[in-house]
Chains A and B, each alone.
Chain A
Amino acid sequence: MSAVAQNLVNALSLGSLYALIALGIALLFSIMGLINFAHGELIMIGGYALLWFAALPFALAAVLAVAVVIGCGLAMERLAFRSVRGASGETLLMTSFALSLFIQGGVLLFEGANPKSADVLGSLGASVEVAGLSIGKLDITIIGVTAVLLLGLAWFLRRTSLGVQMRAAAEDFRMARALGVRANLVVATAFGVSGAFAAIAAIFLVASTGTLTPSMGLSPVLVGFVAIMLGGLGRLWAAALGAYVLALLSVMLQAYLPDGVAPYRDALVYLGIVVILVFRPHGIAGRPGAVRV
């Protein structure tokens, strides 16, 4: 019983991290149809920023890292994505992919390919006993911070003028513009929020792994894509749901697969996702948008 509970807590913590990543990607997708490969590079920059500011107190370093990543997100929008806004999904995807390789190449040039270690964990490394379970303080922090951020995002999208404009733009970008929504402001805000989420995900990621490489953004961004596709395109809460389902799937398979099959866990997870997509092509909670003939 306690083993199951322990696994559930692990899944919740992992799912929270996945949800942060997935939401950052889903936000941009819902507004401009962009699947942002370069989101992983935002996470990577966040990680390196923590390293650059490592001499400062942790709270200050974290705030500065978030600021740097938001700045990078806005720069990405202005320099690359604004020129292809409105292009087909494939073009946007390939643009973000080019941008991702470009940023990786830049960091490779200045920081080198060797992994660097960063210790941001501090006192979070300890764990506490709750009802017979040993739960890492880091897990509690991840779950708590993510919950606050998800609620904050929901509040922002529902209760503020800018948030409502963003939802309008996500519903129908051209109509929203015709009704006076300022496209540049809305898109820039989306990139800013996405950048902030990436930076916070980066802090958690670095705290749990402790290493930095120029290509560290790839696997989180793949996880994010998969979570979004799993949950359903075009709805933010579905992306978060997909993230938690993916985490649950992967933790449970890890725990309960027989030894011979265990190395193939990731293969099973991804195959499972393909199978889910075959039966529900728009994700678990997605809405079909295609024209049927």
Chain B
Amino acid sequence: MTSSRTSVLARSAPAVICTLLVLAVSGLALLGAETTQRTATQMLVMGVITVGTYIFVGNSGVLSFGHVVFVAVGAYATALMTIPHSLKQALLPALPGWLMELELGLPEALLISGLLSVLVAVVFSLLTLRLEGMAAGIASLALLISVNVVINNWDAVTHGSQGIVGIPADLTIGATVPWLIGAIAVAMAYQLSRSGFRLRASREDSVAAAALGIRIRRDRSIALVISAFVCGVGGGLYAHFLGALTPGDVYLQLTLLTLLMLIVGGIRSLSGAVIGTIFISVLAELLRRIEAGGAVGPIELPPHPGIQQLILALTLLLTLLLRPGGITSGRELGFSPPGWIGGRRKGSHTGPTADEPATRSSAASPRAEHGVPTAKQGHPS
């Protein structure tokens, strides 16, 4: 292995390239009309949520339908902390006094929301992390439903199914980009940490990983907590993007959209999460315009409700059938050693070489046997 400093730089490359990609797309959107800018803001917010979900789902390989719970907690918490005092008094008269008085700026509110989501994640991890595979997926879905029922009925705080209005809808591209970059940095840092390596080892082969002494549940809890923080922040941003929040905004549809972005982009790499978000956001916006009808250039289109869902679902279906690993197929964007470009697919069995960079062995040809020793070599302590 090369000296540890270059290798850390080289291994952070995916985060740098993802950041540049985000900046480039945002920069392009800034030149566009107001609707384009709004779509781009939505894309950035979805990026925070998707990257947050990736931190857990991508590294652990455990499918979670429950991450929108953290988004919901973050969204409602941020909304309650940032709505002006007088408006809150009119809208939610039953709020406890201290919460009524509270009026924070967006950044503080987002960070506190993230911490609240972490608290929820701790409860979550006690309940679901014992479970494997499908049972874990169903349990997380059951929790999502439970939380949604509570949001729907807790009139004093969430205003029930009518939802909260009057959230300052002041989110701009410039205000959102730093949060997404932060989310990417957090995800990359976790991915390069020891816990991240151990978790990916357990993703590839949980029995082998456990036999090597990895305490899978502990590493999953760590990932879940970090993931919940990022999702909570994403939820707060989402509330400020929407301006009005109803229980339906943070339920199954958002869950499905997040998973769609992750899977089409490539659920096993950070680059995949970012690319998937950008790709699906652009596609969804194009389809939305077609769906709404009207003139697209010289062609006059009648409105077609349902076409957006149809094409997005088809994209997901074709991804799963033709390229199951998603656009990135588990690879990261970044510097690659010679011979990697055009490289080997997951199925090819080439032996591990001792000096391959860690991103490579964790992303391109991951097996537990590779992941664990790399983790130990990669972090001289």
Residues of A at the B interface (CB closer than 8 Å) are 35, 80, 83-84, 87, 89-91, 93-95, 97-102, 104-110, 112-113, 214, 218, 222, 225-226, 229, 233, 263-268, 270-271, 273-275, 277-278, 281-282, 290-291, 293
Contact code string B138-178 (vs A, CB < 8 Å = 1, else 0) = 11011101110110110000000000000000000000000
Interface string of B96-127 (1 = CB under 8 A from A): 00000000000000000000000000000001
- State the Cβ distance, B209 to closest chain A Cβ, in Å: 9
**A278 CB contacts on chain B under 8 angstroms:** 127-128, 130-131, 139
A267-B130 contact, Cβ under 8 Å, with A80-B321, A84-B321, A87-B324: no
**CB contact between B316 and one of A98, A113, A263 (< 8 Å): that residue:** A98
Contacts of A214 in B (CB 8 A): 306
Q: Range of interface residues on chain B?
A: 35 or more
Number of A-B contacts (CB under 8 A): 141
Given A102-B314, A264-B150, A95-B207 contact (CB < 8 Å)? no
Interface status of B33 (Cβ within 8 A of chain A): no
Taking A113-B305, A229-B134, A229-B135 as given, write out 14 further A-B residue pairs in contact, using a Cβ cutoff of 8 Å, ordered by the A residue number. A80-B321, A83-B321, A91-B320, A94-B316, A99-B313, A101-B316, A102-B310, A222-B141, A263-B149, A265-B149, A270-B149, A273-B139, A274-B142, A277-B138
Q: Complex: how many Å from CA A98 to CA B130? A: 28
Asked, given contacts A91-B320, A102-B310, A109-B304, whether A293 binds B211 with beta carbons under 8 Å apart, the answer is: yes
Docked-complex contact A101 and B139, CB < 8 angstroms? no
Distance between B161 CB and nearest chain A CB, rounded to angstroms: 11
User: In whole Å, how far is B215's beta carbon from the nearest beta carbon of chain A?
Assistant: 11
- Nearest B residue to A102 via CB reads B313
**Knowing A94-B259, A270-B145, A281-B135 touch, does A106 contact B321 (C-beta < 8 A)?**
no
Of B63, B127, B132, B145, which is in contact with the most chain A CB atoms at under 10 Å from its CB? B145
12 example contacts (A-B, Cβ-Cβ < 8 A) are as follows A35-B137, A89-B134, A94-B316, A97-B316, A101-B309, A101-B313, A105-B308, A109-B305, A113-B305, A218-B252, A263-B149, A265-B149
A270 adjacent to B143 (CB under 8 Å): yes
A90 with B135: in contact, given A108-B306, A225-B141, A264-B150 (CB under 8 Å)?
A: no
Chain B CB within 10 Å — which of A91, A94, A99, A271 has the most?
A94
A273 touches B142 (CB 8 A): yes
Q: Measured between C-beta atoms, what is the minimum distance from A279 to chain B in Å? A: 9
Contact between chains at B132 and A290 (CB < 8 Å) = yes
Instruction: Answer whether residue B263 sits at the interface, using C-beta atoms and an 8 A cutoff.
Output: yes
List of B residues within 8 angstroms of A271 by Cβ: 142-143, 146
Nearest CB on B from A7, distance (A): 21
Contact B320–A274 (Cβ < 8 Å): no
